């Protein structure tokens, strides 16, 4: 059986694609090139389905949630707060998994930040 070998892209609709791209670059450090190509660090990726009624993604109209790995969750959340980003107050610790925090981008998409254990 042929298998997928990784995530090749993640695509978002946006009222202002250039501004949203700039937010991900300036606030999260996602330095994609002019074609959107971003060379990420090697590491784990989680693929999971959630119940349709979950509130985990924030708004129930949001069908998917992007999760970024970070080295230092506290530093990333502080950096985002300093830019005025919409950062959730709570964080979550999961034994043997890591720590999680959330930010909502300017288009209203909730994004999860994960510091693996």
Which residues make beta-bridge pairs with 13?
none
Residue 6 confidence (pLDDT) = 86
Q: What is the mean pLDDT of each run of 10 residues along the chain (117 residues)?
A: 89 94 96 92 93 91 95 97 97 96 97 96
Residue 39 confidence (pLDDT) = 94
Residue 43 confidence (pLDDT) = 92
Q: Provide the H-helix boundaries in the chain.
A: 17-28, 73-82
CA–CA separation, 78 and 83 (whole Å): 9
Domain ranges of the chain: 48-116
Fold of the domain spanning 48-116:
2,3-Dihydroxybiphenyl 1,2-Dioxygenase; domain 1 (3.10.180)
Residue 12 confidence (pLDDT) = 92
CA–CA separation, 67 and 113 (whole Å): 6
What the block records as the tokens of 50 is 């959630």
> Which secondary structure element, helix H or strand E, spans residue 68, and what is its range?
strand 66-69
Q: Give the predicted TM-score (pTM) of the model.
A: 0.91
CA–CA separation, 106 and 23 (whole Å): 8
């Amino acid at each position: 059986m042929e298998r997928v070998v990784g995530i090749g892209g993640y695509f978002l609709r946006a009222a202002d694609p250039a501004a949203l791209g700039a937010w991900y670059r300036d606030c999260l450090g996602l330095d994609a090139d002019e074609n959107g190509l971003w060379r990420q660090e090697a590491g784990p990726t989680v693929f999971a389905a959630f119940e349709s009624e979950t509130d985990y993604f924030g708004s129930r109209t949001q069908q998917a949630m992007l999760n970024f790995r970070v080295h230092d969750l506290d530093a990333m959340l502080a950096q985002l707060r300093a830019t005025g980003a919409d950062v959730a107050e709570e964080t979550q610790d999961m034994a043997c998994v890591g720590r999680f925090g959330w930010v909502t981008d300017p288009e209203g998409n909730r994004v999860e930040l994960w510091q693996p254990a």
